[in-house]
Structure 1
Amino acid sequence: MTRALALALPITMITGFPPAPDIAPAHPASATVPASLPSVEVVGTFAAYRPGSTAITYDPAVVPAGATAKLSITRTGYGTDVAVTLTGLTAGRMYGAHLHVGACAADPEAAGPHYQNHRDPVTPSVNPVYANPGNEVWLDFTTDAAGSATATVSHGWDFRADAPPHALVLHAEHTHTAPGEAGKAGARVACLTVPSR
């Protein structure tokens, strides 16, 4: 009898915390889930935009021409590891960095919103239920005295083959987390295109 009552108690009474909000799955159970993408490595040297550019600096005072980025996206048996190594940036500075759904172009906004494993039905996404480091790929970092940095993140999910990320965008600030500000990280200061695969 005691066991049956315990099972009937609300989660809040047992744990002291309310249940996590419901998030619709990225793929409905009845849909065919697309295959995930293979591993990839992208290396770029940032420069001012020109047609065909794959590594663009939008603010040379923050991301100088000649700065470099190496992005690795590795599929594992449990999900995906993402790592970025950067050199030649402004020393001792905080940056935000995320994977975005669009490719880099002359307009920094062309890279679109952040890639999300569970897509926020509202845009722009500033709700921390969706705009958070567990549902997006956040690679924030602070450069050392030489202007170098490395950031890594591991996720227990793979990128969707039907809508993968196409860019690494560097931002002027670390990423905000408060409701209404979640996911924002200041101006887009550079962009590295992730090729289609």
Structure 2
Amino acid sequence: MSLVKAATAAVAMAASMAIATPAVAAPPHPFVFVHDNFQPASQAKGAGAVTYDKSLVPTSASVFIAEARVGGKGMEHHESPSGGAQHGEHSGTFVFLSLRGVAADHHFGIHVHTKPCGAKPDESGPHYQNTKDPKQPSTNPKYANPHNEVWLDLTTNSAGKGYSKAWVKWHFRSGQARSVVIHKHATATSGKAGEAGARVACINVPFK
């Protein structure tokens, strides 16, 4: 857990340094930081973050996301027989997310997805999975769970602010995790596991 605490501290420091004007940056590997305001879906082609439901995620809202990769010689990775990227015992990926100006007192389901954001909600593809479910869309809790995917569910306060963090014991496969999608409801853990209702917003993130 000390590695997780260290990653948390690094991300918190980066968040405190985020400037007021939204921007997207790609600091030296193995960190990624994204800070942006949401734009209308019609502007998805050039926007860093888009909203599909302005009642829940208005264009005045902002988002900050950070990724920190821990462990692995030179941050290199290899594929496991199941298709997931595997690493040493003390390595993995830490993701932090903060929202401001979204709907107050609301629980959002939030996950890392495989494709960039588009003008249409479904263009961001399915959830990124370390071990891919052979049946898609994936609703099997064996695959659709917070250990095999990155879940960042959060509940906002009365001011429409909230944050969440996730730690997984693996690294993303290069180029296969491209966005974070905000869903309307909390993420289901049984039945149709991983489902969280309509996609209400999307943020492009160049995960390492």
TM-score range, shorter chain: 0.7 to 0.9
CA–CA distance in structure 2, aligned partners of residues 40 and 148 of structure 1? 22
Task: State the distance in 1 between where 2:188 and 2:55 align.
Answer: 22
Retained in 1: the 8 A contact 2:147–2:168? yes
Which of the two has greater strand per residue?
2
Amino acid at match of 1:54: G
Report the TM-score when normalising by structure 1. Answer: 0.78
The counterpart of 1:182, out of the listed 181, 188, 193, is: 193
* Alpha carbons 1:81, 1:153 under 8 Å: kept: yes
Find the residue that maps to 1:69 and give its secondary structure.
Answer: strand
1:166-188 C-alpha deviation (Å, 9 max, x unpaired): 00100000001113x10100000
Which of 1 and 2 has greater Rg?
1
Question: Matched residue pairs, number?
Answer: 159
Unaligned runs of 5+ in 2: 1-28, 72-90
The TM-score normalised by the length of structure 2 is 0.74
Instruction: Give, in whole Å, the separation in 1 of the partners of 2:39 and 2:101.
Output: 12
Q: What's the CA shift for 1:84? A: 0.2
Letter in 2 for 1:139: L
RMSD over aligned Cα, in angstroms? 1.3
Whether 1:109 aligns to 2:101 is no
Cα separation, 2, equivalents of 1:86 and 1:173 = 15
Does residue 169 in structure 1 map to residue 188 in structure 2?
no
Gaps of 5+ in 1: 1-36
Using the alignment, how far apart are the partners of 1:156 and 1:195 within structure 2?
19
Alignment match of 1:62 (pick from 56, 60, 63)? 56
Aligned partners of 2:172 and 2:207 also within 8 Å: no
1:196 to partner: Cα distance: 6.7
Aligned partner of 2:177: which letter?
A: P
| Cα distance in 2 between the residues matched to 1:85 and 1:101 | 20
Alignment of 1:11-160 (within 5 A): 38-49=30-41, 50=43, 51-77=45-71, 78-160=91-173
